[in-house]
């Protein structure tokens, strides 16, 4: 039996509408959220069984794109239903996940799945923001333990840099200087994702803080709904293990004993010497695990329950690292809190590619390769909210060896897609326009080693490889990941914290954050932040942004020391593109009926041709002669014939009144019998035959566009020549005719227009 209930409020100039009790009634909780005409269904289900053998919180967040929501049918001829999630759907799911995950108790071992399904999208209101609000609402009203609600907003700015709440797609197209999504509450930031056109740090901070201030009405709204229909929250397990809510006392004792044992090794095994490399840190954890095993055996614990403590060794070490940072400003590798690991850059590593570079920061190593393609090599976008094409693509690849492990090779996962998209977004603001650099550009970042922010290393490596490839980016871009060491009070508020520049593996523990900021010397181009706290206070955010700028400028200094600006020459192996401009009305002449003309040019010259509606014709080829020939053909096809021009043409038709001569592909003119020579010619066939090559000059183009040619005007007038009286015009009329205009007037019957 349906028992729908609904609530609404005005927010950002539009109505935020929430309804429950109508759809997905078998889920633990469900609701629909509508803003504008974008409507998202949110559901949450918690499994009844506890997952055994895991040491993590099993949360699944999925965003389901439905093409019907945008009134679209899939473009494929053969597959019309939705298939694997698009990159856009994966990125949206990751964004929502990063915002809601910190507010769960990570001791829970039941599967929890949050699914956001797009039922309707209007193309103006960001579905990710509405989906995040829907997730916050459905979790708040459910029985699942979750420390919400939070709100979300889409922040942009106008031409005067004033912030705009829930900026629309049209407004972003008009002024895309800032495109930011924030999640949290008025007093804290839980998640931020942004792209920007080199926005100053102060403006980015203002947008984040202002955006979170606008979330208060939303969180109050959800709290009101929760108070009216919310279920009682289930209790949180006392500890995280495989035995459920009432763990065996002996296993709990093993955990506590192991944690205390690791704490006793801080000076002797953990901070006894700097652990600079990842291998050193892995070896340290392994040796501590071996010692802990011996300790537990000596303490009389049965070997079957050792795993309760041993599986958390790295966690316990990470907790001690955090304590040492907070207490003594000491990091495990000996760095200062604001210090970047050793940097190493190289370019031109690979011989045949269009551009390559390697960027290494500590143990994180990325090899980025640039491939330049013809304008037609752009990616076609066909997702629920995206249409059009994309000419710059960044792809991120990792493999088991990236992490020093062995495992099966699979396609890119959600993490790889997310990291690739972040680096892509960071570079987009500095890319050349299509008019100045018409190439399609693909950068592939191969992760050779990962130990702290390979996405920001990919940004740096991509910058170097693009400059090495000769892509005229306006400024180099670098990125850095900022970390956090902190402890919280019982309410989840930070009571002590320290910001870490250049975050790496073992520092990313409980109470941490991963705050990635990329940009140029002039400002920020991309931000992505997630945290393992329940939100960051604004003084912490401000210090993080300031500290990240110092690090970014340092990295940029090292990068520009290797290559200061883009090369002026492309790789000899890169295709060349020549752009010519033609009258848009002539485009059909180049394409021909059914593509016949353009396909013939491509076949004869082995080039690729791309034509824009404004008349730009881009010819791409690795063969200089082929390109030259193709351009000549196109110029001939589109040339506007003018009086006085000389041509060597081909006789294509003979009539009693004159000869038709093809002077350009598809363009004929008439040499009247009186214009063939100074001597009298009775019939053109007396002196000319089909396919003769003759030199002609354009005598005139009449008001119908017909071309009149002359052969005799290019010949020397005989000495003593006497002008003959003009011949009487036949019923066909006189004057020349052109390919486009031939067949007009009295010639229509004997002359048929040629394709």
pLDDT digits (tens, 9 = 90+) for 665-691: 778 999 999 999 988 888 999 999 999
- What CATH number is given for 576-638 in this structure? 3.30.1370.10
Q: At residue 36, does pLDDT exceed 50?
A: yes
In this prediction, residues 431-449 reach a mean pLDDT of: 96
In CATH, 646-747 is 2.40.50.140: yes
> What pLDDT digit, counting tens, does each position of 76-134 carry?
888 888 888 999 999 999 999 999 999 998 888 899 999 999 999 999 999 999 999 99
Q: Which residue has the tokens 């005067």?
A: 160
Q: Which residue has the tokens 């491939």?
A: 371
Q: At residue 387, does pLDDT exceed 80?
A: no
Is there a shared CATH topology between the 5-229 domain and the 343-562 domain? yes
Strand 110-120 with 163-165, pairing: unpaired
- Can you tell me the distance from the alpha carbon of 503 to that of 531, in angstroms, rounded to the nearest whole number? 13
- Give residue 629's pLDDT: 93
**Mean pLDDT computed over every residue of the chain:** 90
- Give residue 488's pLDDT: 85
Q: What angle separates helix 624-638 from helix 596-605, to the nearest 10 degrees?
A: 150
- Can you tell me the distance from the alpha carbon of 471 to that of 437, in angstroms, rounded to the nearest whole number? 8
Q: Is 698 exposed, middle or buried (0-12, 13-18, 19+ CB in 10 A)?
A: buried
User: How many Cα atoms within 13 Å fall on the side-chain side of residue 385?
Assistant: 24
- Can you tell me the distance from the alpha carbon of 514 to that of 484, in angstroms, rounded to the nearest whole number? 8
Q: At residue 615, does pLDDT exceed 60?
A: yes
> What pLDDT digit, counting tens, does each position of 327-378 carry?
999 999 999 999 999 999 999 999 999 999 999 999 999 999 999 999 999 9
- Give residue 728's pLDDT: 54
* Secondary structure in 3-state letters for 68-129: HHHCCCCCCCCCCCCCCCCHHHHHHHHHHHHHHHHHCCCCCCEEEEEEEEEEECCCCCCHHH
**30-34, 113-117, 736-740: least confidently modelled range:** 736-740
Phi/psi for 654 (5° steps) reads: -120, 130
- Can you tell me the distance from the alpha carbon of 164 to that of 168, in angstroms, rounded to the nearest whole number? 9
Where are the extended beta strands (E) located within 140-299? 151-157, 163-165, 178-185, 188-199
- Can you tell me the distance from the alpha carbon of 420 to that of 458, in angstroms, rounded to the nearest whole number? 8
In this prediction, residues 9-29 reach a mean pLDDT of: 96
> What pLDDT digit, counting tens, does each position of 132-153 carry?
999 999 999 999 999 989 999 9
Tell me the chain's radius of gyration from C-alpha atoms. 35
- Give residue 737's pLDDT: 39
Are 179 and 194 in contact, with CB atoms under 8 Å apart? yes
User: How many Cα atoms within 13 Å fall on the side-chain side of residue 28?
Assistant: 25
Q: At residue 747, does pLDDT exceed 70?
A: no
As a whole number of Å, the end-to-end CA separation of the chain is 70
Q: At residue 241, does pLDDT exceed 70?
A: no
What fold does the segment set 343-562 form as a domain? Answer: Ribosomal Protein S5; domain 2 (3.30.230)
DSSP string covering 127-167, please?
Answer: HHHHHHHHHHHHHHHSSS------EEEEEEE-TT--EEET-
Cβ contacts of residue 362 below 8 Å, gap of 6+?
276, 277, 333, 341, 342, 451, 452, 502, 504
Written out in words, the top-level CATH class of the domain with range 5-229 is: alpha beta
Domain ranges of the chain: 5-229, 249-328, 343-562, 576-638, 646-747
Cis peptide, bond prior to residue 149, ω within 30 of zero: yes
What band does 237 get if pLDDT is binned at 50, 70 and 90?
A: low
Q: How far is CA 650 from the centre of its chain?
A: 53
């Amino acid at each position: 039996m349906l028992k729908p209930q609904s609530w609404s409020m005005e927010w950002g100039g539009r109505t935020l509408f929430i309804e429950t009790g109508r759809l997905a009634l078998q889920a633990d909780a469900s609701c629909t959220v509508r803003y504008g005409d974008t409507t998202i269904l949110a559901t949450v289900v918690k499994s009844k069984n506890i997952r055994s053998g895991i040491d993590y919180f099993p949360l699944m967040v999925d965003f389901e794109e439905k093409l019907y929501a945008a009134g679209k049918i899939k473009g494929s001829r053969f597959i019309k239903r939705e298939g694997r999630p698009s990159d856009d759907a994966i990125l949206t799911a990751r964004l929502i996940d990063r915002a809601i995950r910190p507010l769960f108790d990570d001791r829970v071992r039941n599967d929890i799945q949050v699914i956001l399904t797009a039922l309707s999208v209007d193309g103006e209101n960001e579905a990710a923001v509405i989906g995040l609000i829907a997730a916050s609402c459905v979790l708040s009203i459910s029985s699942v333990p979750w420390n919400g609600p939070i709100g979300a907003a889409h922040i942009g700015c106008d031409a005067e840099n004033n912030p705009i709440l829930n900026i629309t797609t049209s407004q972003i197209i008009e002024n895309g200087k800032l495109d930011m999504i924030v999640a949290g509450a008025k007093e804290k930031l839980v998640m931020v994702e942004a792209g920007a056109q080199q926005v100053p740090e102060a403006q980015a901070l203002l947008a984040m803080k202002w955006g979170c201030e606008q979330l208060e009405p939303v969180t109050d709204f959800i709290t009101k709904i929760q108070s009216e229909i919310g279920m009682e929250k289930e209790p949180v397990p006392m500890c995280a293990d495989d035995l459920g809510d009432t763990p065996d006392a002996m296993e709990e004792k093993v955990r506590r004993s192991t944690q205390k044992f690791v704490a006793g090794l801080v000076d002797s095994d953990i901070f006894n010497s700097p652990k600079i490399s990842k291998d050193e840190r892995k070896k340290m954890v392994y040796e501590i695990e071996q010692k802990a095993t011996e300790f537990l055996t000596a303490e009389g614990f049965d070997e079957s329950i050792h795993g309760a403590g041993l599986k958390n060794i790295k966690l316990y070490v990470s907790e001690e690292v955090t304590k040492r940072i907070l207490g003594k400003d000491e990091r495990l590798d000996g760095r200062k809190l604001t210090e970047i690991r050793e940097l190493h850059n190289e370019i031109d590593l690979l011989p045949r590619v269009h551009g390559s570079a390697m960027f290494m920061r500590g143990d994180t190593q990325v090899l980025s390769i640039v491939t330049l393609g013809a304008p037609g090599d752009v990616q076609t976008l066909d997702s629920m909210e995206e249409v059009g094409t994309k000419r710059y693509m960044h792809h991120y690849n990792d493999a088991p060896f990236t992490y020093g492990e062995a495992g099966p090779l699979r396609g890119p996962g959600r993490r790889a897609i997310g990291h690739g998209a972040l680096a892509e977004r960071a570079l987009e603001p500095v890319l050349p326009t299509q008019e100045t650099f018409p190439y399609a550009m693909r950068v592939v970042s191969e992760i050779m080693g990962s130990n702290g922010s390979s996405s920001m290393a990919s940004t740096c490596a991509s910058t170097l490889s693009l400059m090495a490839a000769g892509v005229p980016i306006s400024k180099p871009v670098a990125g850095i990941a900022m970390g956090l060491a902190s402890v919280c009070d019982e309410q989840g508020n930070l009571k002590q914290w320290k910001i870490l520049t250049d975050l790496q593996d073992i520092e990313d523990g409980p109470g941490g954050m991963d705050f990635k900021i990329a940009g140029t010397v002039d400002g920020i181009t991309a931000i992505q932040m997630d945290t393992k706290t329940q939100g960051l206070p604004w003084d912490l955010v401000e210090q993080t942004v300031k500290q990240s700028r110092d690090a970014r400028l340092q990295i940029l200094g090292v990068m520009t020391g290797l290559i200061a600006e883009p090369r002026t020459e492309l790789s000899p192996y890169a295709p060349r593109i020549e752009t010519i401009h033609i009258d848009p009305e002539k485009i059909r002449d180049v394409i021909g009926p059914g593509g016949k003309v353009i396909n013939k040019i491509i076949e004869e010259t082995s080039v690729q041709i791309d034509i824009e509606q404004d008349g730009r014709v881009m010819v791409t080829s690795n063969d200089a002669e082929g390109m030259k020939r193709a351009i000549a053909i196109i110029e001939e096809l589109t040339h506007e014939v003018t009086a006085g021009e000389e041509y060597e043409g081909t006789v294509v038709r003979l009539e009693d009144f004159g000869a038709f001569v093809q002077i350009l592909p598809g363009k004929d003119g008439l040499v009247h019998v009186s214009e063939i020579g100074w001597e009298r010619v009775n019939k053109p066939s007396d002196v000319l035959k089909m396919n003769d090559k003759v030199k002609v000059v354009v005598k005139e183009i009449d008001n119908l566009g017909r071309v009149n040619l002359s052969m005799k005007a290019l010949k020397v007038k005989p000495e003593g020549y006497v002008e003959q009286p003009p011949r009487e015009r036949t019923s066909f009329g006189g004057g020349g005719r052109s390919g486009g205009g031939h067949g007009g007037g009295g010639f229509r019957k004997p002359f048929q227009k040629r394709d």
